[in-house]
Structure 1
Amino acid sequence: MPLLTTDTGPLYYELTGPETAPVVVLSNSLGTDHTMWDAQLPALAGNFQVLRYDARGHGRSTVSAGPYSVAQLGQDVLDLLDGLGVAQAHFCGLSLGGLVGQWLGINAPERLLKLVLSSTAVKIGDAASWNARIAQVEAEGLAGLAAATAARWFTPPFRRSQPEAVARVLDGLAATSPSGYAACCAAVRDADFWKDIRQIPVATQIFAGSADPVTTETDGKYLEQYIPHAHLVVLRAAHLANVEAAAPFNAALLRFLRA
């Protein structure tokens, strides 16, 4: 089991693809793990080294004491790159992973080739709603979040037509550590890049789901407007656009990374 040891615990990762190819880092959302990118792996693996990992508090990575910050989660990515001897990489993050991508674009742009921000925003939600979710998870665990999460992550037609795909992702939510989830909720709660995204110098692709109730198309347009070299692609999907609209997501991602 590939683990990278950091000062605050191990991080699980998988690196696949040609050894001489550019590296693409895929960063998961809150309540998922590296397997949320399963639909992207076949499309990318022939042309890139794909580095998938479980964000701190998720999957097989460490569940260190919280709360976490996006800066801490971003440093985890830099530690992974350093540990694997990767000087620069493409980075693609969704939701929480997209916040990590914004932090990297602002604070470590020299480590990035290109940046992909999917289903994310400069600020996601408000403190009151995140504090309420943290309190619920700490008191009850994650079981009570499944129905509402499915409604945020996928449109009703997708939930009806692809129940097995939905179930696989929700199984990942159920397997997530409640304390790790709550610690990452705090990271999302406290992240705010309203002003700082203007500093991101690298070419940036933005994905937004037209039916995403969490990070809306308007949020994507804001990122496009204020990141200097950004382009927005809107997909017919809810929050987990890479799963619900995998084919157009993959096609646009490949065009951007190859350009």
Structure 2
Amino acid sequence: MRIAELDGLHVHYTDEGDPDGAPVVFANSLGTDLRLWDKVLPLLPAGLRLIRYDKRGHGLTQASKAPYSMGMLVRDAEQLLDHLGVKDALFVGLSIGGMIGQGLSVKRMDQVRALVISNSAAKIGTADMWHERIAAARAGGIEPMADTVMERWFSKKFRAKPELHAWRSMLVQQTVDGYTGCCAAIAGTDFYTPTSGLRLPVQGIAGSEDGATPPDLVRETIDLVPGSRFALMRGAGHLPCVEDPEGYARILTDFIKETGHV
């Protein structure tokens, strides 16, 4: 277990693979921890340095008092990579992790040389929608909304599997401050203008059954960046790295090779 103290915040992370390899950094979605990537990492090419972390208020990373801003979450990632001496990384962000990746790519061009925006967008939902969710979580906790979240996250086929219960349990175990804090960060984020100014390799990934960030929303953001790539994973939902890790790893591997990130 590795913990970095960054401006008083204790951040849980993993640093695996070849310490001298090209770095790949993974940022997970709202309501999940770094185990989101467990099935994908073993399928990636050998020789990479693979870094994962739990964002603020999620997993084993300390929660500060909500609300959070996207700038705060971007700064957490920035400080972690500085702490680890990481430059020129390929950043893989899913959902809110994809928003963090967009913000970091704009702020620290030295840290990110290529970006994967997975099941994410420059703007997700409306501020009113997120504030309603914050109020519900504050009033009754995360448990009452868990079944609805599972429907947005996963395809009908996956929801019939016993594994669903592990992901539901992961969701409800997140701190209320962490969950609502990140909801507030999403509510206040519109990256259309800064993301349209990015000039680095970008790979978009969407799931055809995604009820949280539908494919058209993801593609709209990917198309903001000239020369970007887009992949649609059919039959998968909001967390395609869970439902189809082999397919997800193939997309990442192709992007890694095409960008010379080896």
TM-score between both structures, scaled by the size of structure 2? 0.95
In the other structure, the counterpart of 2:39 is 39
Q: 1:182 aligned to 2:180?
A: yes
In the other structure, the counterpart of 2:148 is 148
For residues 113 and 40 of structure 1, the distance between their equivalents in structure 2, rounded to whole angstroms, comes to: 21
In the other structure, the counterpart of 1:22 is 22
For residues 216 and 152 of structure 2, the distance between their equivalents in structure 1, rounded to whole angstroms, comes to: 16
Q: 1:124 aligned to 2:129?
A: no
The alignment-based identity, stated in percent, is 36
Which stretch of structure 1 is more off in the superposition, 107-116 or 93-102?
Answer: 107-116
Asked if the contact 2:122/2:190 (under 8 Å) is kept, the reply is yes
In the other structure, the counterpart of 1:7 is 7
CA deviation profile, 1:220-250 (whole Å, cap 9, x unmatched) = 2212221123110000211111111211111
For residues 49 and 170 of structure 1, the distance between their equivalents in structure 2, rounded to whole angstroms, comes to: 30
SS of equivalent to 2:200: coil
Asked if the contact 1:113/1:202 (under 8 Å) is kept, the reply is yes
Q: 1:167 aligned to 2:161?
A: no
Asked if the contact 1:105/1:201 (under 8 Å) is kept, the reply is no
- Structure 2 portions without partners, runs of 5+: none
For residues 141 and 95 of structure 2, the distance between their equivalents in structure 1, rounded to whole angstroms, comes to: 21
For residues 8 and 214 of structure 2, the distance between their equivalents in structure 1, rounded to whole angstroms, comes to: 34
Q: Would you identify which runs of 4 or more consecutive aligned residues in structure 1 move more than 2 Å?
A: 44-47
Amino acid at match of 1:214: A
In the other structure, the counterpart of 1:241 is 240
Q: 1:256 aligned to 2:223?
A: no
Amino acid at match of 2:239: L
SS of equivalent to 2:13: strand
Asked if the contact 1:158/1:244 (under 8 Å) is kept, the reply is yes
TM-score between both structures, scaled by the size of structure 1? 0.96
Of 221, 224, 227, the match for 1:223: 221
What RMSD in Å do the two structures reach over aligned CA positions?
1.2
Amino acid at match of 1:173: L
Amino acid at match of 2:162: P
For residues 74 and 117 of structure 2, the distance between their equivalents in structure 1, rounded to whole angstroms, comes to: 14
CA deviation profile, 1:142-161 (whole Å, cap 9, x unmatched) = 1112100110010111111x
Q: 1:92 aligned to 2:92?
A: yes
Asked if the contact 1:109/1:202 (under 8 Å) is kept, the reply is no
In the other structure, the counterpart of 1:105 is 105
User: Structure 1's 46 and 167: CA in aligned 2 closer, same or farther, altered over 3 A?
Assistant: farther
SS of equivalent to 2:192: coil
Greater helix content? 1
